[in-house]
Amino acid sequence: MVADAVDAVAVTRPRIRVQGAVKSFSGRVVVNVDDLVLGDRPIEGLIGPNGAGKTTLMRMIMHSTPLDRGEISLLPVDGRDVVLSSLPAHRIARHGVVKSNQVVMDFDKLTIWDSLLLAVAEARYEQPHRIFSERAVFERHEDEIRHYLAYFGFADPAAFAMSAGEKKLLDIVRCLLLRPTVLLLDEPTAGLPEDLTERLMDVVRDLAAGGTSVVIVEHDLNVIWSLCDVVTFMAEGSVLLKGAPQTIRENRTVVEKYLGHGHV
């Protein structure tokens, strides 16, 4: 893990830039982020107390929540900047920006096979006249799907995901199958057993090493400290601090507002 956060960035990475982004619900400002760039370092953490606006910010990046003001852009490795906040929600994933969900989100009627085949199926096969394309889609993607099924221990892909943990994991695997350039994970380890958390962290490290920028929102701070190169601290809708994990950990404001003195 890179300990020194002042290292010059050797490789350009895909980044997300948040500028002047503001969102209010019922008159209360929930997010107010002036200037934030995510993705300079391979794995970044986003922490803060409940109600800090972390999930709302993630949703604003995915444009599933519209912004009241401001702009959020994707700065890809090559090619022009893409203003995500001006795109409809379904285009965000097409640019490689993908998010897993904090609250368990699942398709009740779809099995695990279904869920994953849905994620990987190319748009040209999902048309009213393509009623014989199942075999083609399956054969193209069977290997990568089976890899994840085995890696995370899904015993029966023809069954439905039952427990909350299974559904959470399924959500994450769907994201992985989308081959993201920017991966946002919103509390991915909540509800996961220890061994699966380890496996997830290994996958995240591999992805990041391969060029994907990963941003993790977490309350499990062991995950944050062990995985992240840079940590951003949010509270009451704004970014208060950003820096190396050790710096964040020791900062008085962070300790007071969030960690409590037992963490230092």
Residues that bind another protein (CB under 8 A): 59, 62, 64-66, 88-94, 98-99, 101, 103, 105-111, 113-114, 117-119, 121, 123, 125-128, 130-134, 137-138, 156-160, 174, 178
**Shortest CB 210 distance to another protein, Å:** 20
Q: Which is nearer to another protein, 177 or 201 (CB)?
A: 177
**Shortest CB 176 distance to another protein, Å:** 12
Q: Which is nearer to another protein, 28 or 261 (CB)?
A: 28
**Shortest CB 195 distance to another protein, Å:** 22
Q: Which is nearer to another protein, 41 or 99 (CB)?
A: 99
**Shortest CB 225 distance to another protein, Å:** 28
Q: Which residues contact 229 (CB under 8 A, 6 or more apart)?
A: 1, 2, 5, 41, 42, 43, 44, 244, 245
**Shortest CB 83 distance to another protein, Å:** 17
Neighbours of 38 (CB within 10 A): 25
Q: Which is nearer to another protein, 74 or 92 (CB)?
A: 92
Instruction: Look at residues 1, 6, 59, 12 and name the one whose alpha carbon lies nearest to residue 33.
Output: 59
Q: Which is nearer to another protein, 138 or 225 (CB)?
A: 138
Q: Which is nearer to another protein, 6 or 155 (CB)?
A: 155
Q: Which is nearer to another protein, 160 or 225 (CB)?
A: 160
**Shortest CB 123 distance to another protein, Å:** 7
**Shortest CB 102 distance to another protein, Å:** 9
Report DSSP letters for the chain, one per residue.
----TTSPP-S---EEEEEEEEEEETTEEEEEEEEEEE-SSSEEEEE--TTSSHHHHHHHHTTSS--SEEEEEEE-SSS--EEGGGS-HHHHGGGTEEE--SS----TT--HHHHHHHHH--GGGSSTT-TT-HHHHHHHHHHHHHHHHHHTT-S-TTS---SHHHHHHHHHHHHHHT--SEEEEESTTTT--HHHHHHHHHHHHHHHHTT-EEEEE-S-HHHHHHH-SEEEEEETTEEEEEE-HHHHHH-HHHIIIII-TT--
